[in-house]
Structure 1
């Protein structure tokens, strides 16, 4: 904190000295964003064609998928790109876009309350409890990070059954007595997403709102996961079953990372083609890592869609893709120089947001251990004393 505070004061001091001295830098007019990067301003009705498809991976898409891609791209460039940086800076969600987004018919989901303040990757040791009472259950505990939970109508809360010591699932209404939700402030990443802390104090859940058939993590896999593959007769521990349930979520995170990497590639390539230094454009820009992760992500999707994707493959995709996307975005921010930390150019925002994607749905290290277990058949995720 002292270093950050001192650096901040030093920056203010330099700024003050510049004002007093009347430096030429401060007398210069403010850089016009429409000149520096015209495709990132509200005045731009459409962006140029994507520059990140040099390998013509669109050929892997069906005509229906290509039409949907164009539809979503037009919505993002016309409705989202011109305003999203302001919402990111304010850490607010653009609620007015929800009705418009719903017309696309491309997304939907359930807000899941799983992670806790003291349990992230070690999700089999949840502290949130569910105690049986006449007519229902009493839930007590805390959850941390459920995205957009500040405006959710219902939650799926995972809690430890005090009678069986197994993890059960419960549907909790957003207005339930004893349920307290507070937004997590001061995030440096994914600022538009409304992550929250959830406190459950003697929250009553009727028997009808307990997920039927969900008596353990193994059962929750079948309910929670969209993945079509089955567990079969394999004797899985709770932790392994939990990881398997998250396979599809990790594929989604991998695809988000690919999108960020491709977007940064486009923005940087255009910026370097437009901006000149020393009388020449900064067009010597080679950033092709995202092509590899794009292809890998597509292959994982096809494996998943056909029911052949393993838990290890999902973890490999999440770990590899987010790592490469992180490197891509960092290089993109570097190539934009000072403009790389200004949200108007979108790359700085993507740089911060990528840190969250690299971390959640299993850290790089945890996913690497899952892949190693898939290859060797030996689990090393937990300390030896707990194996």
Structure 2
């Protein structure tokens, strides 16, 4: 190819880029010198220059793939009705919660005005039968936990405490009369619930070391003790309190109303995670509870454990949602953020981080999907729920860390959302059973030996 032909072809390519841009460039550089330099390029160098110019010229026309963390299209396995519910909740979270999530997280306050709006979605107690509940699948419950956490883990936790732990305690352990009294109002979110199990001195060891006590006096029960980390309890209408009966040493469950004398809930301050969730330290001082508010179908910690097993899958799904929110936020950022004249998503090291994040997320999603299928078939075991909690909470930590990394310094700013996911992942890692305790549950199941101490 002659020098003239090379220059002509190069000019043609430059014209395809943008003539106005070329005119502006001519004011900054010496075009004849550039043309002379082009003429001295060998074929390989010229091909590289032509490729670069073509890429630059077409970049504005390049259609990028959508940002979607469901890489294996698991949503296609949902029915149309389930998919409609999922999209309804996703739109609500994007429109109503996302614009205020960082503000309330930063202030450590709860946006009470959204409670009636969540109630209007008709998703509370979604997997329960009767009492105004939708009677959908546990899979649907898990998918919704993910959708809520994908935008704000705090709101997902608030919802899980109310709909899963509090309503679930009454659903599994309450009498027919108690279910009729409370569940319809809780389903509509006219009554908000909390769940009081963890104590200041016992978390993982609460099954055998519960210090809150109860004893019966006439037709009433007297409760004394403390609870800690109780989500929603600063404003809940009722709190499910678990206490050990002095006489029999067996665990009982109680529906404690906020107006009960002897019940006091104080907000816990200075948290680094789930700051929107209003956790409370509860003090019970000769708190009198009528026999009618004792959960009639609970007579041991085994009954408490049934509630925890039912809801642990939801926590694994929350981890998926946290990871998905971080991944999608990071992917969106890398497509817009430019360095060295290109979006950082075009660089190999960034793509490596994104792919590893997606691999972890996809593994978590498929595990939880199967977990919920087992739950819907009434085949779910404690160790299966524990394995999902262990794996998903660990992998979420990795995903949010990489999301922060690809965003550089901006990753620690709330305005980009990922900083909130990084912090909230730490809470998911610990609640509903620490990684270590859930590991021992699985280890006991696969080896036949219990490594628990005591």
Identify whether the pair has TM-score above 0.5, normalized to the shorter chain: yes
In the other structure, the counterpart of 1:44 is none
Counterparts of 2:267 and 2:293, CA distance in 1: 25
Partner of residue 119 from structure 1, selected from 198, 202, 215: 202
Counterparts of 1:58 and 1:166, CA distance in 2: 44
1:170 pairs with 2:254: yes
1:327 pairs with 2:410: no
1:195 pairs with 2:282: no
Q: Deviations over 1:200-230 (max 9, x none)?
A: 0000111111111322123x24xxxxxxxxx
- Shift of the alpha carbon at 1:374? 1.2
Counterparts of 2:77 and 2:403, CA distance in 1: 26
In the other structure, the counterpart of 1:148 is 232
In the other structure, the counterpart of 2:383 is 312
In the other structure, the counterpart of 1:265 is 327
- Shift of the alpha carbon at 1:252? 0.8
Partner of residue 81 from structure 2, selected from 64, 74, 79: 64
Counterparts of 2:202 and 2:107, CA distance in 1: 29
Does the aligned pair in 2 maintain the 1:250–1:318 contact within 8 Å? yes
Does the aligned pair in 2 maintain the 1:51–1:265 contact within 8 Å? no
In the other structure, the counterpart of 1:54 is 71
Counterparts of 1:259 and 1:49, CA distance in 2: 18
Q: Segments of 4+ in structure 1 off by > 6 A?
A: none
Partner of residue 215 from structure 1, selected from 299, 302, 312: 299
Counterparts of 1:69 and 1:205, CA distance in 2: 39
In the other structure, the counterpart of 2:341 is 279
Counterparts of 1:307 and 1:354, CA distance in 2: 29
Where 1:204 maps in the other structure, the secondary structure is strand
- Shift of the alpha carbon at 1:140? 0.4
In the other structure, the counterpart of 2:363 is 292
User: Which structure is larger by alpha-carbon Rg, 1 or 2?
Assistant: 2
Does the aligned pair in 1 maintain the 2:242–2:251 contact within 8 Å? yes
User: What residue ranges of structure 2 are gaps of 5+ in the alignment?
Assistant: 1-64, 126-162, 167-193, 346-350
Q: Deviations over 1:223-280 (max 9, x none)?
A: xxxxxxxxxxxxxxxxxxx3x5422221111001101111111111111001101111
In the other structure, the counterpart of 1:91 is 108
1:359 pairs with 2:421: no
- Shift of the alpha carbon at 1:50? 4.4
- Shift of the alpha carbon at 1:49? 5.5
Q: For residues 6-85 of structure 1, what are the structure 2 equivalents within 5 Å?
A: 50-85=67-102
Counterparts of 2:124 and 2:389, CA distance in 1: 20
Where 1:338 maps in the other structure, the secondary structure is helix
Where 1:205 maps in the other structure, the secondary structure is strand
Change (3 A) 1:258 1:342: same
- Shift of the alpha carbon at 1:134? 1.7
Does the aligned pair in 2 maintain the 1:51–1:269 contact within 8 Å? no
Partner of residue 119 from structure 2, selected from 56, 78, 102: 102
TM-score (norm 2): 0.67
Does the aligned pair in 1 maintain the 2:368–2:388 contact within 8 Å? yes
Change (3 A) 1:377 1:258: same
TM-score (norm 1): 0.79
User: What residue ranges of structure 1 are gaps of 5+ in the alignment?
Assistant: 1-47, 222-241
Counterparts of 2:120 and 2:264, CA distance in 1: 32
- Shift of the alpha carbon at 1:377? 2.2
Does the aligned pair in 2 maintain the 1:326–1:351 contact within 8 Å? yes
In the other structure, the counterpart of 2:419 is 348
Q: How many residues align?
A: 314
